[in-house]
Chains A and B, each alone.
Chain A
Amino acid sequence: MAQNKEAWGSRLGVIMAVAGSAVGLGNFLRFPGLAAQYGGGAFMIAYAISFLIIGLPIGWAEWAMGRYAGSLGYNSAPGAFASIVRRPWAKYAGIIGVIIPVVIYMYYVVIEAWCIGYAVNFWTGQMHLQDAKQTVDLFVNFTGAGADASAMSFQFDRALPWLLVVFAFNFWLIYRGLSGGIEKMCNIGMPLLIVLALVVLARVMTLGAPDASKPHDNVYNGLGYMWNPSKVLITKITPGPEDKPREVVGAAAITEAEKEVAASSGSLVLKTVSPWSQLLNPSLWLAAAGQIFFSLSVGFGVIIVYASYMKKDDDVVLSGLTASSANEFCEVALGGLITIPAAVAFLGVAGIAGQAGVGLGFKVLPLVFSKMPAGAFFGGAFFFMLFLAAITSSISMLQPGIAFIEECLGVGRKISVSILGLLTSFGTAFVIYFSADLKALDTLDFWVGTFLIFMLATIQIIVFGWVWGMEKGMSELERGASVKVPAIFRPIIKWVCPAFLLSIFALWLLKEIFGFDLTTAQFGAVSAYVTDLFGASAKLPAQLSVALAVGIFIFFALISSRSKSYRRAEQGLPKNEV
C-alpha cells in the first residue's frame, strides 16, 4: 500500500515537473489581456488554430530533433542543427537558440523579482493603494521606470534587493541540479501554484459587483469582456487620430450607451463587430500566434536542449502534448477566468482597456487587490503564484546556455555555470540599470523575445520538414510514443506551418518594423523600435541593448567556430569517438 502510494506520488511528480516547465508569466498576464482586447471568441479561434498548426508541430519538431542530437551526444541547439543539417552555417543558426533563452533570462528574472517583491509587500501590509495614480507611481518607483538606475536601491519597495535574491536562488537551484533543487521546486511549486490559482479564482468569482454605485462593474461583465465573441463599440462617426472606440459590455451598459448616442446629435454611433470581421484583422492573428510562441516556449531553444537528455525510447509525443496541455489549462482555465473579471469588477471595462502583460499585472491588478476584502492575502497569493510560474520557467532558460558552453569549450558544469552566471549577471545589471521607461527590457523583449523567436521557429520547422525530411523526422518523433501523431500533422508540418509562419512573419515585419497599418492598409510612421536605434531620435539604452544581444551572438559564434564538437556534428559523427 505504502509502495503503491509512493508510486502514485512519483507519477504525479512527473506530471508536475512537465507542467512546471510549461507554465509561465504569460499564462496569467499576457493571455487574458490579449484575449479581451481582440474579442474573446474571435481570438480563441485564431489561438486554437495557431496552437494546432504552430504550437504542437514546432514543439514536437523540437522534441524530436533534440532527442536525435542527444543520441549523438549533442545537447545544445547549435549541436542539434549541425548534426541534422550537416553544413557549417547550421551551428550559427543554432546559436539563435542559445541567445534567446540567455537574453530572455536577463530580463525575465527582473520581472520575476517584481512578482516576489509585490507578493511580500502585499503580505506585509505595505500595499495601500487608493487610485490608479498611486498604483502607477508604485510601479514606476519599484521598477525604476521613472529614471535610469532609480530601482538600484536597497529598499524593499525597490526591485534591486528582490532581484539579487531571485537571481541567486535561480543559480543555486541550477547549480544544485535535479535532486538538490529543480525537482523539489517543481514538485512543491506546481501544486502550490494551482492551489493558489484556484483560491484566487474562487475569490474572484464571488466578488459580484463590489461597488454598489457602479453596478455595471461586476464579475459577470468582466467574463463578458473576456469571452463575448461580438464586441459592442461606441465610437465617433468621424474619429480624430486620438479618438479610440470604447467597448461597452452588459445589457444595462448598452442601454446607457444607446442613450448617450441619441443625445450626441449624430456625432456618436454604436456598432457591433462580429467575430468574423475581427478575424479579418491580421493583428489578431499576429497576437494569437505570438502568444502561442511565448506561452508554449516553442522557438525558444529550450525544448530542444531538454529533449537531448531523453533516452531513445522515451515518449516525446506525449511529453510535448502533456506540457502543452498543462500550459493551456493554466492559461485558459485559470488565467482566463481570474485576471480580467477581477479587474473589470473593480475598475470597469474603461479602466483596463488596452492593458495586457506587464501593464495589466503591475499597473492594474495591485489596485484591484487593494480594493478587495482581504486583498493583502489574495494580492500576495496572486503575485506569489506568478513568482512560482516564473521561476519554473527561468530555471529552464539556463540549461541551454550551460550545455552550449560545456560543449563548445569542453569544460565541466561548474565552470559553465560560472561563465553563464557572469554573463547573465552583467546582462541583468544592464536591464535594471537602464530602467527608464523600461527601455532595455522592452527593446530586448522585442528584438530577442519576439523577432528572434519567430526566426528560430521558422528555421526549426523548415529544418525538420524540408532538410531533415518528413520520413526521418516523423519516425524519430514517433519512436517510443504511446500515442501516434495523427496523419493530418504531416501536411501541416511540411506545408501549412511554414507557410503560416512565413505569412505571419511577413505581416509582423510590415506592422512592427515598417509601421504598416494592417486594418487601413496604409504605411504610417516607422516603428519606435527602429527609430530608437537609428536617426535623430535614437536612444542609447535601446542601442546598447541591441549591441548586447549582437555582442553575445558574436562571442558565441567565435567560440562555436573553433569547437571540435561541432566539426564532428557537421560530419554526422557522434560528439565522442566510440
Chain B
Amino acid sequence: MTTPGFIVMLLSVGTVTFLFGWCIYKVLTTPNETDKVHGVEFMTPDMKEPD
C-alpha cells in the first residue's frame, strides 16, 4: 500500500467512524431523543390486531 493509499483509507474509515460516533453521541445525549429516532422497529397500528 502506498502512502496516499494509507491516507485515503484513514480518511475514509475515520470519517465514517466519526460520523456514526457523533450520531450515537447525539442520540444518547439529547433529552428524549431516543423516543424520537427510529429505524424499522415500529409498532405499526395494524400489529395490534387481535388474534
Contact = CB atoms under 8 A, between A and B. Distances in A.
Interface stretch (A18-26, A208-216, A564-572): A18-26
Contacts of B17: 329, 333
Prevailing SS type, chain B contact patch: helix
A221 B2 CA distance: 9
Contacts of A178: 41-44, 47
A227 B8 contact: yes
A15 B47 CA distance: 22
A186 B16 contact: no
A224 B17 CA distance: 20
Contacts of B38: 14, 17-18, 306, 309-310, 314, 319
Instruction: From B15, B37, B47, name the one whose CB has the most chain A CB atoms within 10 angstroms.
Output: B37
A17 B40 contact: yes
Contacts of A29: none
Interface string B12-28: 11011101101110111
Instruction: From B4, B17, B41, name the one whose CB has the most chain A CB atoms within 10 angstroms.
Output: B41
Interface string A314-336: 11001101110110110111001
Contacts of A226: 9
A185 to B, nearest CB: 9
Give the contact-size bracket for chain A: 35 or more
Nearest to B47: A177
Given A20-B39, A178-B41, A11 B34 contact: yes
A395 B47 CA distance: 14
A323 B38 CA distance: 9
Contacts of A183: 41
Contact of A332 (B13, B27, B40): B13
B16 A182 contact: no
Interface stretch (A410-418, A448-456, A498-506): A410-418
A126 interface: no
A291 interface: no
Given A333-B16, A402-B46, A482-B30, A18 B37 contact: yes
Nearest to B18: A325
Contacts of B28: 8, 11-12, 15
Given A41-B8, A314-B38, A399 B44 contact: yes
A569 B17 CA distance: 41
Given A11-B28, A321-B19, A322-B24, 15 more contacts: A8-B28, A15-B24, A18-B37, A18-B38, A177-B43, A227-B9, A228-B5, A229-B8, A230-B2, A310-B38, A322-B27, A322-B37, A325-B19, A326-B23, A328-B20
Interface of A: 8, 10-15, 17-22, 40-41, 44, 48, 75, 177-179, 182-183, 186, 220-221, 223-224, 226-230, 306, 309-311, 313-315, 318-319, 321-323, 325-326, 328-329, 331-333, 336-337, 392, 395-396, 399, 402-403, 406, 412-414, 416, 480, 482-483
12 contacts: A14-B34, A14-B41, A17-B40, A18-B38, A178-B43, A224-B5, A227-B12, A306-B38, A314-B36, A318-B33, A318-B37, A336-B12
Interface of B: 1-2, 4-6, 8-9, 11-13, 15-17, 19-20, 22-24, 26-28, 30, 33-47, 49
